[in-house]
Amino acid sequence: MKIHVHTRVNGEATEFLCAPDRSLLEILRDELQLTGTKEGCSTGDCGACSVMLDGRLVCSCLVLAPEVEGRSIETIEGVAKGDQIHVLQRKFLEHAALQCGICTPGFIIAAKALLERNPDPSEEETRYWLAGNLCRCTGYDKIIHAVLDAAADLRGETR
């Protein structure tokens, strides 16, 4: 039997029907058409499906859809506010921190979670925090630079 789930997605009250064993990722992509959240493995090993669930960074492939009843979700589609992109998004563009771009939404969500709790992370802290996000194109170099630069920017420093 399908379950009727009420949740908030990117600040908007949202409801959907789902089979109990469907993942949040499947609901976001296939039911809510929020395809910015990507699927790379569905086993929690690549981070492409990263979203915020009640302010916690999680892999949406490892959340069952009925679990989000009454909770709030933030996806990549909610990171830019109106016509203003987030500093991280701007820094990813400026640093050429994406090549194919499939991992980018997950990295931006994860990096945003990092900077919200640690405004001045070291390179090592950043690398370990982002270790659950796989990128196969960049060697991570430009991603790490982009995140550290965004952090500096958010602290009001120029690097």
Partner 1 sequence: MSDKPKGDQPASDRKWKYIGTRPIRHDGLDKVTGRAQFGADYALPGMLWGKVLRSPHAHARIRGIDVSAALALDGVKAVITGRDFPDVASEAAEGGEGANDFGDLAMNVIAREKALYHGHAVAAVAATTAKIAEEACKRIVVDYEVLKPVLSLDAALAANAPILHESARATGHEPLPKGPSNVASRREMGRGDIAKGFSDADVVVEREFRTPMVHQGYIEPHAVLARTGQDGRSVVWCCTQGAFMVRAYSAKVLGLSTDMIKVIPTEIGGGFGGKTTVYGEPLAILLSRKAGRPVKFVMSREEVFRASGPTSGTHIRVKMGATRDGKLTAAEAVLYYEAGAFKGSPVGAAMMTVFAPYKLANVRIEGWDVVLNKPKVAAYRAPGAPMAALVVETVMDELAEKLGLDPIDLRLENAVHEGVQATYGPKFRAIGFVETLRAAKSHPHYKAPLGVNQGRGVACGFWFNAGMSSSANVSINEDGSAVVVTGNPDIGGSRASLALMAAEELGIPVENVRPVVADTEAIGYTDLTGGSRVTFATGMAVIEAARDVVRQLRARAAQIWSVELDAVAWEDGRALLLSEAPGVHEPLSLAQLAGRAAQTGGPLVGRAALNARGAGPGFATHLCDVEVDRETGAVTVLRYTAVQDAGKAIHPSYVEGQYQGGVAQGIGWALNEEYIFDENGAMENAGFLDYRMPVASDLPMIDTVIVEVPNPMHPYGVRGVGETPIVPPLAAVANAVQRAARVKLSELPISPPRLLEAIDRAV
Partner 2 sequence: MEEVRYESPTTIARAAQLLAEPGARVLAGGTDLIVQMRTGRKTPSVFVDVKRIPELAGIRLDAKALWLGAAVPAALVVENAEVNRLFPGLVEAVDLIGSTQIQGRASVGGNLCNSSPAADTVPALIAIGAVCLIAGPKGERRVPVESFNSAPGKNVLAAGELLVGFEIPRPAARTADAYLRFIPRTEMDIAVVGAGVSVTLDASGVCTHARVALGAVAPTAILVPAAVAALVGSRGEEAALARAAAASSEAARPIDDKRGTIVYRRKVSGVLTKRAAAAAFERARGARRG
Indicate whether 24 belongs to the interface with partner 1 (CB under 8 A). no
Q: Is 139 left (phi over 0), alpha (psi -120 to 50) or beta?
A: left
Partner that binds at residue 150, options partner 1, partner 2, none, CB closer than 5 to 8 Å by kind? none
Q: List the one residue from 27, 28, 110, 146 that touches partner 2 (CB under 8 A).
A: 110
**Residue span binding partner 2 (CB under 8 A) among the ranges 8-16, 20-28, 78-86, 90-98:** 20-28
Whether the CB-CB separation of 59 and 97 falls below 8 Å is answered with: no
Partner that binds at residue 99, options partner 2, partner 1, none, CB closer than 5 to 8 Å by kind? partner 1
Rounded distance, CA 29 to CA 47, Å? 15
Q: Of 153, 51, 68, 158, which is closest to residue 108 (Cα–Cα)?
A: 51
Indicate whether 105 belongs to the interface with partner 1 (CB under 8 A). yes
Residue recorded with tokens 């089979």: 19
Indicate whether 16 belongs to the interface with partner 1 (CB under 8 A). no
